[in-house]
Amino acid sequence: MVMLHALDRKLLRDLWRLKAQSLAIALVLACGVAIFLTGLGMVRALEATLEDYYSRQNFAHVFASVRRAPLSVVQDVAEIDGVQTVEARVAGWVVLDLPGRAAPASGRVLSLPENGPLLNVPLLVDGRLPDPDAATEVAVTDRFARANGFSLGDRFSAIADGTRLDLQITGTLRSPEFIYTLPPGGLMPDDAGFGIIWMPERAAAATFGLTGAFNDLSVKLRRDARLAEVIDRVDAILAPWGGTGAHDRETQVSHSFIQAELNQLRSMSAVLPPIFFGIAAFLVNMVLGRIVALERAEIGLLKALGYRDSEIALHYLMLAVLVAAIGIGIGWGAGAWLSTGMSRLYARFFDFPWLVQPHDLDVYALAGLIGLISAGVGALRAAWVAARLAPAVAMAPPAPPSFRRGHMDRLARWLRLPQTAMMVLRGILRWPVRAAFTALGLSLGVSILVASNFMLDSLDAVIDTAFFKSNRQHATLVLAQEAGLDAVTDARHLPGVLAVEPQFDLPVTLHHGSRSKKLAITARMPGGDLARTLDVGNRHVPLPEKGIMLSEQLAAHLGVAPGDTVLVELSGTRSGEFHLPVAAVTRQYIGIGAYMQMDALAERLREGPRVTALNLWIDRAHLSELQAALKEMPMLATAVMLTDVRESFQDTISENVRINTVLFITISVLITVGVAYNGARIQLSERARELASLRILGFTRAEVSSILLGETAILALLAQPLGWAIGAWISWAMMAGFDSDLYRIPLVLTPANFANASLITLAAVTAAALLVRRRLDRADLVAVLKTRE
């Protein structure tokens, strides 16, 4: 039988007596532990998965596209210092005619070498790779096959450069190059409408007219390689053959999206957990401080019996440790559960063949250690006070607090406030530091909701800007290669087409001083109304007659403003350079952009206007006829239906927002209830005799409750504007975490956001206050009055 020390028995009794307050503190601490584990744990899992997947499948470091280059160029690239492996391939866009699908789908064809690829090696999921000598056998991405209900041996048609190909599926693959697969012009993956197709090398080269040549290059580097120098050398070698600019993994679409997700997780791990750990420390300090004040006599008696100061201090520290241990245990369990849920989400949006879950006990240990330190820091002051009490002083009642009539008393008297209101105000002014920290704790509950709701409003702004103000077209046709303006005439004759606006995308590198950026200048006809540019106030502005218009993100990267000049370096099949004045700065939330009038760009290039894409306004009544015609349209690389993109984007975002909203409301309520409940309980313990006396003197329960809960109500109201401000700051920090070349989130804070956050937190405060009032209503007045102060 285990014999408990007297202090140990007292410790367990105290924990049971304070079970409601301890649980409130433990749940707040658990939120911090769980979010810390989820954020840092998923960062490690994703990093470990990427490293393992990239290493096993030999994922390249540098990627380059070229119009057409002979295979002999590969040897020139291989001789660059720092290059370990080079692989050339054929790549091309195709329109897909899929069984049972009215709308045209699109695909990206990649060639498979006869002996298998050396880099970006696809992982076989089912079936086999195509026979190198077969012209119609292909392998496709596993998700594309599953989304369309394909089985091994099924067939579908692809249209490449106007030629229809009848293809048969022999296998399904996954690739480190397409963990996150976006269709052209898409914002979200479209597994049913876009697929990657691997075709034998000879068949792919014949299909795209590249026999003995290549148009896509992958390079893997040695560890001692200098990335920037290798990219410059690759560009120099490919420039005569129409190279469009080499780039590293950071701008490879799949990898960059995963890195953006990692940055968001790191931001969450850095911003949110400290809030919960800080609140937990404050609550521990508040509760233990009051316990020490109430147990002065017991502390004095224990010291008189021979207990040392260190034992007394350790006793109160252990109470905080036990509460922290409960919170850490709950947090570990919640963190493991959240990590499992996050893994399912990543499996849905990212095409990982496996997800490495490193059993990093150090992450759990670190989260637990931070939780213990938070509780320990909160308990230090109370433990120090208990240890420093002399036995004789401790066993005597504490001296009553001094009172002096101040300005607030005179103001209250002038305002003729009732006595109950005066007692509430004096309760706040007597302990101003505690009142300030209570208001701060309540404000953090508000701030969490403001920060979570800001995302919904911001995404609404992104959708409105991207799909209704900027890209207003119903569909965009991306051409397989450049064409003249006669492509516009051909498009106008398609069924259901009401308006056509041409677009020309020219690959360039923009320079300003030592800064540069590779991208494509988008040129459009003046007066266009389908694809529009917006100023920083989201107002439609026409393209400048002379000069170039840059997006905010691009202008900031280059360090330019309207009136400055940028150097345009041509790439691809064109060479040369010229200077352009920056005429204006435009706002866009998806990607970065540079815009010109089509005639102005053609003049700079000394050639006639060219077209690479067509923006369409269509009659939905003829949609099925248009879709059928697009499947047979020569020179079409892909057709992007903006309506479908918008609906897919909205559906996906809505689902994620619902999950996040429930999670953050739960977190906010836990914070608010924890702070409000503990604060009201401490007030009840401090003012129990006072309130019981008022009841006996004839005050009603409502009046007595207003004295007890009035302080909480005032502090809750004062916490609202502070919570709005902190929430705005957290929203700004989250917005900065989303900022990248791929997309950015505007900071949109609406009155409805602040109102909803306040209503939820005030409701939580009310619920906590009613729990405490229930204890007050059930109190034995005679027993309370017999209690010694």
Q: Residue 686 — pLDDT band, cuts 50, 70, 90?
A: low
- The two tokens of residue 552 are 């905010």
CB–CB of 491/476 below 8 Å? no
- The pLDDT tens digits of the residues spanning 300-315 come to 777 777 778 787 888 7
In order of 290, 341, 599, the CA distances from 781 in angstroms are 21, 50, 89
Question: How confident is the model at residue 787, as a pLDDT?
Answer: 53
Cβ neighbors of 405 (< 8 A, separation 6 or more) are none
% the chain with pLDDT above 70? 85
CB–CB of 554/594 below 8 Å? yes
Cα–Cα distance measured from residue 138 to residue 125, given in angstroms and rounded to the nearest whole number: 14
Q: Is the pLDDT of residue 251 over 80?
A: yes
Cα–Cα distance measured from residue 565 to residue 546, given in angstroms and rounded to the nearest whole number: 12
Q: What is the DSSP letter of 180?
A: S
Question: How confident is the model at residue 674, as a pLDDT?
Answer: 75
Cα–Cα distance measured from residue 784 to residue 789, given in angstroms and rounded to the nearest whole number: 10
- The two tokens of residue 537 are 């106030």
Cα-to-chain-centroid distance, residue 252: 19
Q: Is the pLDDT of residue 685 over 80?
A: no
Helices (H), 464-567: 486-492, 552-558
% the chain with pLDDT above 90? 23
Q: Is the pLDDT of residue 421 over 90?
A: no
- Higher local confidence (pLDDT), 700 or 101: 101
Among 349-363, 466-480, 490-504, 598-612, name the one with the lowest average pLDDT.
Answer: 349-363
- Higher local confidence (pLDDT), 668 or 585: 585
Q: Which of 649, 714, 653, 630 shows the shortest CA–CA distance to 679? A: 714
Starting at the edge strand that comes first in sequence, how are the strands of the sheet with 83-89 ordered?
83-89, 213-221, 62-70, 247-248
Question: How confident is the model at residue 2, as a pLDDT?
Answer: 43
- The pLDDT tens digits of the residues spanning 4-30 come to 577 777 777 877 877 777 787 788 888
Among 515-524, 536-545, 600-609, 683-692, name the one with the lowest average pLDDT.
Answer: 683-692
Q: Is the pLDDT of residue 519 over 50?
A: yes
Cβ neighbors of 679 (< 8 A, separation 6 or more) are 286, 438, 711, 712, 715
- The two tokens of residue 414 are 């002038």
Cα–Cα distance measured from residue 365 to residue 369, given in angstroms and rounded to the nearest whole number: 6
Helices (H), 591-641: 598-605, 623-630
Question: How confident is the model at residue 185, as a pLDDT?
Answer: 65
Q: What angle do CA 193, 196, 200 make, to 5 degrees?
A: 140
- Higher local confidence (pLDDT), 551 or 276: 551
Q: Is the pLDDT of residue 577 over 80?
A: yes
- Higher local confidence (pLDDT), 423 or 733: 733
Question: How confident is the model at residue 3, as a pLDDT?
Answer: 45
Q: Which of 6, 11, 681, 671 shows the shortest CA–CA distance to 290? A: 681
Highest mean pLDDT among 193-197, 254-258, 274-278, 295-299: 193-197
- The two tokens of residue 567 are 């150097």
> What are the phi and psi torsion angles at 758 (to 5°)?
-70, -40
Q: Which of 312, 374, 290 shows the shortest CA–CA distance to 26? A: 374
Q: Are strands 577-586 and 565-570 parallel, antiparallel or unpaired?
A: antiparallel
Question: How confident is the model at residue 125, as a pLDDT?
Answer: 93
The dihedral through the CA atoms of 708, 709, 712, 717 has a sign that is negative
Q: Is the pLDDT of residue 105 over 80?
A: yes
- Domain borders along the chain are 1-62+261-399, 63-256, 431-472+643-789, 497-618
Instruction: Give mean pLDDT, residues 86-113.
Output: 90
CB–CB of 20/26 below 8 Å? no
The dihedral through the CA atoms of 159, 160, 164, 168 has a sign that is negative
Question: How confident is the model at residue 782, as a pLDDT?
Answer: 52
- Higher local confidence (pLDDT), 430 or 176: 176
Decide: helix, strand or coil at residue 139: strand
Highest mean pLDDT among 254-268, 593-607, 737-751: 593-607
Cα–Cα distance measured from residue 391 to residue 656, given in angstroms and rounded to the nearest whole number: 59
Q: Which of 201, 202, 219, 208 shows the shortest CA–CA distance to 68? A: 208
Instruction: Give mean pLDDT, residues 169-189.
Output: 85
Cα–Cα distance measured from residue 458 to residue 351, given in angstroms and rounded to the nearest whole number: 27
Cα–Cα distance measured from residue 165 to residue 168, given in angstroms and rounded to the nearest whole number: 10
CB–CB of 155/168 below 8 Å? yes
Residue 412, Cβ density class (10 Å: 0-12 exposed, 13-18 middle, ≥19 buried): middle
Residue ranges with strand state E in 636-781 = 636-641
Helices (H), 58-193: 73-78, 142-147
For residue 364, count other CB atoms closer than 10 A to its CB. 19
Q: Is the pLDDT of residue 746 over 60?
A: yes
In order of 53, 459, 503, 552, 746, the CA distances from 743 in angstroms are 26, 11, 22, 12, 10
Cα–Cα distance measured from residue 290 to residue 391, given in angstroms and rounded to the nearest whole number: 18
Instruction: Give mean pLDDT, residues 494-501.
Output: 91
Buried b (16+ CB within 10 A) or exposed e, 334-352: bbeebbeebbeebeebbbb
Q: Residue 789 — pLDDT band, cuts 50, 70, 90?
A: very low
Among 232-241, 520-529, 593-602, 651-660, name the one with the lowest average pLDDT.
Answer: 651-660
Q: What is the mean pLDDT of the chain?
A: 82
Number of H helices and E strands in the chain, helices first, is 23, 22
- The two tokens of residue 555 are 């202008």
Residue type, 503: Q
Q: Is the pLDDT of residue 1 over 50?
A: no
CB–CB of 469/537 below 8 Å? no
Q: Is the pLDDT of residue 415 over 70?
A: no
Among 82-91, 402-411, 640-649, name the one with the lowest average pLDDT.
Answer: 402-411
Question: How confident is the model at residue 40, as a pLDDT?
Answer: 82
CB–CB of 626/618 below 8 Å? yes
